[in-house]
């Protein structure tokens, strides 16, 4: 390994259960593996890979006003717990997970980066246009608010847990679930679920269509949660399943049956399993 002040320039390093003190900001341009705690700002450059192995990882600084944490490289969480410290939201680069959990003050994914694997995220997450989120295995669980500005989710499953509200638009073409405390709020066209997956949409929380267009895809019924609201928008359901949404707009254009209560449409409420005209 070659170092230049606080910069890891080349080579690789393995660290086990130690604290690293960086008086300035450490820049990673190589592979760093292990379980460690960094007392100082951290920047992972495009060639850098930080991998949590053999224990937990705490990186960055909540007190560095300029460089708490920033990544244009790869953060491999694996099955570990990783705490990212920053005074505000951090550029996330590429994050991979294999059953672990990540805590942060905010992670922003931009083109060239992405999120993949399975595990939990307890942090606000922003998905920018051109970013692909690829859950695998048991999927990704979001315990913090998710803002999607046109990104794409494709893979196995995403769960928006309590505190994990979803806002925005884009393609979420995998199994989508939400807990009762989590709401899904569409701003523009939003696709939820996949026609090739059984029970691909299971919403226990609220769905707010607003004036947007929301399409629910599943090869079986799409389940709506505790409250669904439409204010001039359109809600489309699986085409081959008459027990879920077929088409609903304002005013309604087709007869539609719902499996959840209540549906609110410009002041009109449709009770459980009643036809709405």
Which pTM does this prediction carry? Answer: 0.84
Q: Residue 30 to residues 65, 107, 113: CA-CA distances in angstroms?
A: 25, 22, 17
pLDDT value at residue 263: 45
Cβ-Cβ contacts under 8 Å for 55 (sequence gap 6 or more): 16, 17, 34, 35, 80
SS3 206: coil
**What are the extents of the domains in the chain?**
1-105, 124-277
Tokens of 110: 């931009």
By CB neighbour count within 10 A (0-12 exposed, 13-18 middle, 19+ buried), where does 277 fall?
exposed
* Residue 102 φ then ψ, to 5°: -125, 130
Integer Cα distance of 116 and 137 in angstroms: 10
pLDDT value of residue 220: 81
Q: Which two tokens stand for residue 225?
A: 């949660």
How far, in Å, are 40, 260, 270 from residue 274 at the CA level?
59, 10, 7
Ranges of the chain whose pLDDT falls below 50: 1-4, 9, 17-18, 240-277
Cα separation, 165 vs 206, whole angstroms: 9
- H or E, element range at 76: strand 74-78
Give pLDDT, residue 65. 66
Question: Over the range 64-103, which residues count as b (16 or more CB within 10 Å of their CB) and which as e?
Answer: beebbbbbbbbbbbbebbbbbbbbebbbbbbbbbbebbbb
Q: How far apart are the first and last CA of the chain?
A: 70
pLDDT given for residue 161 in this prediction: 97
Give rounded-to-5 percent helix, strand, coil for the chain: 0, 60, 40
pLDDT score at 37 = 83
pLDDT recorded at residue 179: 96
How high is the pLDDT of residue 182? 96
Query: What is the model's pLDDT at position 266?
Result: 41
């Amino acid at each position: 390994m070659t170092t230049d002040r606080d910069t890891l320039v080349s080579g690789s390093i393995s660290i086990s259960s130690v604290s690293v003190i960086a008086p300035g900001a450490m820049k990673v341009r190589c592979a760093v593996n292990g379980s460690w705690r960094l007392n100082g700002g951290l920047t992972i450059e495009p060639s850098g890979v930080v991998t949590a192995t053999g224990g937990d990882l705490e990186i960055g600084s909540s007190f560095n006003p300029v460089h708490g944490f920033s990544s244009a490289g790869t953060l491999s969480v694996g099955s570990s717990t990783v705490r990212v410290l920053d005074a505000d939201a951090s550029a996330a680069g590429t994050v991979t997970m294999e059953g672990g959990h990540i805590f942060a003050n905010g992670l922003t994914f931009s083109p060239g980066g992405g999120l993949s694997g399975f595990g939990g995220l307890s942090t606000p997450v922003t998905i920018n246009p051109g970013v692909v989120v690829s859950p695998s295995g048991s999927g990704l669980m979001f315990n913090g608010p998710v803002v999607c500005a046109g990104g794409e989710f494709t893979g196995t499953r995403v769960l928006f847990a309590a505190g994990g509200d979803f806002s925005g638009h884009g393609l979420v073409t995998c199994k989508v679930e939400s807990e009762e405390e989590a709401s899904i709020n569409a701003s523009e066209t939003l696709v939820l679920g996949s026609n090739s997956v059984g029970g691909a949409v299971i919403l226990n929380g609220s769905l707010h269509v607003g004036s947007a267009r929301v399409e629910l895809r599943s090869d079986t019924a799409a389940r709506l949660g505790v409250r669904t609201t439409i204010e001039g928008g359109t809600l489309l359901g699986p085409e081959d399943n008459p027990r879920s949404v077929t088409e609903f707009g304002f005013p309604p254009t087709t007869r539609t049956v719902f499996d959840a209560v209540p549906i609110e449409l410009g002041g009109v409420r449709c009770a459980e399993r009643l036809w709405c005209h």
